[in-house]
Structure 1
Amino acid sequence: MSEGRWHRRHPIAVDTAIALCFTLADTAATLTGATWWPERPGTLAWVLLGAQALACLTLVARRRAPLTVVAVLGAFTLAVTLLISPLDALTPAHPGNVWAPFSTALAAYGPVFYGRTARNRRTAYLVLGLFTLVVARPWEPSFTVITVGLLRTAVGPLLALYFDARRRLVCALTERAERAERERHLLAEQACAEERARLAGEMHDVVTHRVSLMVLQAGALRVTASDEATRRAAEELRAAGCQALEELRDLVGILRTAPEDDRTPTPDGLAALVAESTAAGVPAELVERGDRSLASPVVGRTTYRIVREALTNVHKHAPGARVAVRVEYEESRVRVVVRNTVPAGRPDSELTRTGSGLGITGLRRRVELVHGSLRAGPEPDGGFCVAADLPAYVPTAEAVA
């Protein structure tokens, strides 16, 4: 998916390629006599051809300065029209095929699509109106010329209006879906809180009452019992009941209290994690690319857990190794890679026995919960690599953070 959005990450390269294509197309069309090129070109014709190429290359700036691009192409078209008539300085080989460059169609698209404010839109419509007059040449009435000119300058703005409306609709639907997700999550939290309060009330009303009765009866038995063994057993039963009441009271308090948020650090804590590893004798280097805000909170916490578990395994099983931590944030995914070199020493057997051996398994299960994938295994050079691909956005309510 990220490869399909390459053009969004490299707009300058895309605009340069488009400008070159239109420049070559207009130059080829001119040289083949499809427009103003004379039968016997002179110096003026070649100068105009170079000026046309430069005017078409201004499409590189169609996003940042769309009105400037329209002005340059409009000025060139007007200059060619005036040189042909009334100045008669240029005589086309085919007088009926004097059209504006193909680049004018794309240039007319920019002011409408990239003019986001109402004031910019009004200015864009005014400039495009003048641009249409230059391209259609109404002072030389011709049905074909006027029709082609209107098509050259109208198709672009119409497409811009369509794509702008589509973009606004997608943004509105996305915002509505995210708002509905947040509301669903809040409702789920409210339902959980109400259920916890109900369970706490049930435990307080039923279990506490019964245990209190047991404590009272044990206390009465301790007083009325005739032999020492019975009194001692009753005292032990009473003490155990009192302890159970205290523990039950604490449990009821926990149930009635809303659970705290997940305290697992976000990717902001990766630098501290790597610094701690270096201070503990395992040199680690962190490289982050992209914007951290592209990752939703659940994915951010999962990223932190992956790096923490991988560094823990290096400490236990690869003493003296160097670690490289790489995190890439993209629009649609987050990629985490933790790679260590060959260990310089033998691992401590007592330290390795402290682990459960289920770290990677638990990590893979957590990654799968957010619809990601995890790969962990040895490298050809003798090191070890933990790599995970995670979606950039995962709704909080759908994942176990």
Structure 2
Amino acid sequence: MTAGPWHRRHPLAIDVAIAVIFAFLDTGTTLLGLSWWPERPGVLAWVLLTVQAAACLTLIVRRRAPLAVLAVLGGFTLVMTLLIAPAGVLVPAGDATVWAPLATVPAAYAPLYYGRNRRLALAALAAFTIVIVRPWQPSLAVIVSGLLRTAVGPLLALYFDAHKRVVCMLTERAERAERERHLLAERARAEERARLAGEMHDVVTHRVSMMVLQAGALRVTTGDESVRRTAEELRAAGCQVLEELRDVVGVLRTPPGDEPPSAGDFAVLVAESTAVGTPAELVEDGDPALASPVVRRTAYRVVREALTNARKHAPGSRVAVRIEYDQRRVRIAVRNTAPSGRPADGLAETGSGLGIANLRQRIEVVQGTLRAGPAPGGGFQVEAVLPAYVPTAETAV
């Protein structure tokens, strides 16, 4: 997001510059005889010239007090007019001139653009105009010049105010159209997600469930040990596929921005491992809420795969599970000690042998890394580093 133009970020500096410029400009034009300056200036003329410069410097507060600035410059002009006629204290070099300083132009601009009460601003500008054009001393040159000074500013103020309102209206309309477009896109995305979830549930889940049931029936009825082992592998793989499909269907049915269903409780995994003879200990450091749902699901699969491998290949070992959460990443480390016995042949041979490879692919999808190998001092260690946040739906820009 840009900070905006310099002049909009420093309005006071702009007002100071404008006030100083008009103070010097009015002082110069007055000394050149283009205003009320007499042919033989006295002390009064120099005092009035200083007062005029001070009145021009009130433009510094034209944004905060536009009517006050108008009153100061109008009052100065009225005093000058009364000193010239009827008092006759000051005699200008030329009669057909406007006694008001040029600073009246930006002063007349401010009430309509920065003021809140437009009626009061118009009334003040009308009185200001009367003081400048001096209708009690009719002069075409003075009237035309005075009207130009008091009309240019308000006309510019009305134009810029209307332009600002039009820009704000168009911006609001564009933002509203963008919000509506985003809502329509979200609705279409939600409908498509629901349709995909329904198809996966009706077709894929049903077929895989049938395969699991048939594999289970084959395992029970067959007398061949190798067939029974193969059927059990098929049944176990099918059950795992069903679990993952339920997870995916749950994600698809969850509207973007809502919390997807939990991937599971790490404490439950550790308790299950301990219950079947592989003692495990869990240490969680940090706030689990820092991890997005897809990261928590991936971490759950890392822990589950590591505990499963420890039960298969390292009987009698102890497993330490450590999960660290921070703002940028989630680190999972599962380490088992060296086994105290030999793995059972039937148990070690189950599975496809691609658990770590499939897990690595899943982790790479979320831009994470996985290391698996022998641990120092014996045993085996699985370590994964995942980003803390991985979006599950495209974010509208």
For this structure pair, what is the TM-score category when the shorter chain's length is used for normalisation?
0.5 to 0.7
Q: Is the 8 A contact 2:98 2:145 kept in 1?
A: no
Per-residue deviation, residues 115-134 of structure 1 (Å, max 9, x unmatched): 13xxx111111111100000
Q: Distance in 2 between matches of 1:261 and 1:6?
A: 41
Once the two structures are TM-superposed, the CA of residue 226 in structure 1 deviates from its matched residue by 4.3
Q: Is the 8 A contact 2:212 2:238 kept in 1?
A: yes
The answer to whether 1:42 aligns with 2:42 is: yes
1:89 partner letter: V
Structure 1 residue runs without a partner (length 5+): 263-275, 277-307, 310-353, 360-394
Q: Distance in 2 between matches of 1:208 and 1:41?
A: 103
Once the two structures are TM-superposed, the CA of residue 4 in structure 1 deviates from its matched residue by 7.1
The answer to whether 1:149 aligns with 2:146 is: yes
Q: Is the 8 A contact 1:38 1:93 kept in 2?
A: yes
Q: Distance in 2 between matches of 1:32 and 1:74?
A: 22
The answer to whether 1:233 aligns with 2:230 is: yes
Match of 1:258 in 2: 255
Q: Distance in 1 between matches of 2:4 and 2:234?
A: 71
Other structure's SS at 1:135 match: helix
Q: Is the 8 A contact 1:214 1:238 kept in 2?
A: yes
CA RMSD of aligned residues (A): 3.2
Once the two structures are TM-superposed, the CA of residue 396 in structure 1 deviates from its matched residue by 5.7
Match of 1:136 in 2: 133
1:397 partner letter: A
Match of 1:220 in 2: 217
Q: Distance in 2 between matches of 1:186 and 1:96?
A: 67
Match of 1:185 in 2: 182
Once the two structures are TM-superposed, the CA of residue 241 in structure 1 deviates from its matched residue by 2.1
1:82 partner letter: L
Other structure's SS at 1:67 match: helix
Q: Is the 8 A contact 1:185 1:396 kept in 2?
A: no
Q: After superposition, where does 1:162-173 map in structure 2 within 5 Å?
A: 162-173=159-170
1:105 partner letter: V
Residue range with higher mean Cα deviation, 236-245 or 71-80: 236-245
Q: Distance in 1 between matches of 2:29 and 2:240?
A: 95
Once the two structures are TM-superposed, the CA of residue 195 in structure 1 deviates from its matched residue by 1.4
Q: Distance in 2 between matches of 1:46 and 1:396?
A: 69
Q: In structure 2, do the counterparts of structure 1 residues 251 and 18 end up closer, same or farther at CA, with 3 Å as the change threshold?
A: same
Q: Is the 8 A contact 2:133 2:143 kept in 1?
A: yes
TM-score calculated relative to the size of structure 2: 0.63
Other structure's SS at 2:5 match: helix
Match of 1:285 in 2: none
Q: In structure 2, do the counterparts of structure 1 residues 143 and 355 end up closer, same or farther at CA, with 3 Å as the change threshold?
A: farther
TM-score calculated relative to the size of structure 1: 0.63
2:63 partner letter: R
Once the two structures are TM-superposed, the CA of residue 170 in structure 1 deviates from its matched residue by 1.1
Q: Distance in 2 between matches of 1:202 and 1:3?
A: 49
Other structure's SS at 2:12 match: helix
Match of 1:90 in 2: 90
Residue range with higher mean Cα deviation, 201-210 or 233-242: 233-242
Q: After superposition, where does 1:13-92 map in structure 2 within 5 Å?
A: 13-92=13-92
Q: After superposition, where does 1:101-116 map in structure 2 within 5 Å?
A: 101-116=101-116
Q: Distance in 2 between matches of 1:189 and 1:52?
A: 64
Structure 2 residue runs without a partner (length 5+): 260-285, 287-326, 329-382, 388-393
Q: What's the % identity of the aligned pairs?
A: 69
1:14 partner letter: I
Q: Distance in 1 between matches of 2:56 and 2:249?
A: 75
Once the two structures are TM-superposed, the CA of residue 3 in structure 1 deviates from its matched residue by 8.7
Q: Is the 8 A contact 2:80 2:99 kept in 1?
A: no
Counterpart among 216, 235, 239 of residue 242 in structure 1: 239
Q: Distance in 2 between matches of 1:396 and 1:43?
A: 73
Work out the number of aligned pairs and report it.
277
Max radius of gyration: which structure? 2
Once the two structures are TM-superposed, the CA of residue 245 in structure 1 deviates from its matched residue by 2.0
Once the two structures are TM-superposed, the CA of residue 234 in structure 1 deviates from its matched residue by 2.4
